[in-house]
Amino acid sequence: MMTTKTATISHAQSSKSDVKRLVKAMTAIAWSVLGIGVLLCLVNLSHFSDQNVGLMVGIGFLIGSVHIYVIGTAIGLVHARLHQEQPPTSFEDN
């Protein structure tokens, strides 16, 4: 019984750092996608119409970057709330 609880606690802490890494990675990806979107929009801004595929793809990248950032932030918040509401685990059997 003791080793099961110890494994669960150590797994919870490694999971916390994994989630932090995931949130940071998704934030970096969102910024990269935003930069690509801005670049595509600026390069293809001369012909401003819905027929301009480069401009439409750039706008899609801008919108997609916001979605990636929001999803990454939501994952971090849900994980933080999950650990906040759980009672602390102890090693003693009650």
pLDDT band for position 88 (cuts 50, 70, 90): low
Which of 12-21, 37-46, 83-92 bottoms out in mean pLDDT, i.e. has the lowest? 83-92
To 10 degrees, what angle do helices 53-85 and 2-43 make? Answer: 160
The full set of domain ranges for the chain reads 22-85
pTM of the prediction?
0.71
| Token pair belonging to 80 | 């933080």
Cα separation of 29 and 58, whole Å? 15
Cα separation of 12 and 16, whole Å? 6
Q: Quick check: 46 pLDDT over 80?
A: yes
Q: Are 42 and 70 in contact (CB under 8 A)?
A: no
